[in-house]
Amino acid sequence: MFLDAPGARAEGASGTAHLNAPVILALSGSQRRDSYNARLLRAASVGAQRGGATVGFIDWEAYPLPLFDPEVEDAALPDTVLAFRARLAASRGLLIACPEYNASVTPLLKNAIDWASRQAPGAPGPCFSGGVVALLSASTSRLGGVRGLDHLRDILSSVGALVLPDQFALVQAQHAFGEDGRLRDQRQQAAAEAVARRLAEVVRFWR
């Protein structure tokens, strides 16, 4: 991750593109249609744009990653893995929103991190070392997924990412979004935006 890609316009990017704006990649830990975490990423991403970044979104349908298998990795990285790693490499920061599954991260996200975290011939990377990441979560529970974020923070730190202390966990996500895609509670909307904005500000000055 996080090779310089000055002025790059990310696939699936939204909002105003700034000349030489760093690209932040937004990654949901859920591929569920109508995922609350994907919706939270969209709501928060306004903050990254205000912070001077361009935001691209990973659509998991375009990156159907197989379950990590070291023998497959040794033989040749699958095309979808290479394409996913290329998206990471072209970004300067990651904004992740992940549901909590049984008090931890989702298998989808853990699998993606595993595929991207290792040195592999012919692929950029390892993808996380030296990169900057900010964390969000959305859950239908009253805890908002914070236990999963603790695990995610540990995992990403172990592969060399700088995980910002700022994070936001959305509780009872099934009631939280308005028709316009923003969070109904303005304080929550501002808190989610603030995490993304801080990420944009840090990546602009990082390195």
> Please, which residue, 35 or 49, has the CB nearer to ligand FMN?
35
Q: Are 138 and 17 contacting, i.e. CB atoms less than 8 angstroms apart?
A: no
Task: Indicate which single residue of 14, 80, 140, 172 sits in contact with ligand FMN (rule: CB under 6 A).
Answer: 140
Cα–Cα dist 124/119, whole Å: 8
Burial class of residue 101, CB neighbours in 10 A (0-12, 13-18, 19+): middle
Candidate list 5, 83, 143, 164; residue touching ligand FMN; CB under 6 A: 143
* Positions 75 through 134 that interact with ligand FMN (CB under 6 A): 99-103
Tokens 């910002």 map to which residue? 164
Residue matched to tokens 């969000």: 136
Cα–Cα dist 109/28, whole Å: 8
16 versus 174: smaller Cβ distance to ligand FMN: 174
Report the residue number, 37 or 54, with the smaller CB distance to ligand FMN: 37
Is residue 145 within the footprint of ligand FMN (CB under 6 A)?
yes
DSSP string computed for 98-110: ---BTTB--HHHH
CB 54 within 8 A of CB 22: yes
Using CB under 6 A, which of 25, 173, 191, 203 touches ligand FMN? Answer: 173
Amino acid at 134: A
Site size toward ligand FMN (CB under 6 A) is 17
Q: Name the one range near ligand FMN by CB under 6 A: 32-40, 53-61, 150-158, 179-187.
A: 32-40
Binding span for ligand FMN by CB under 6 A among 2-10, 128-136, 141-149, 198-206: 141-149
> Which residues make up the interface to ligand FMN (CB under 6 A)?
30, 32, 35-37, 99-103, 138-141, 143, 145, 173
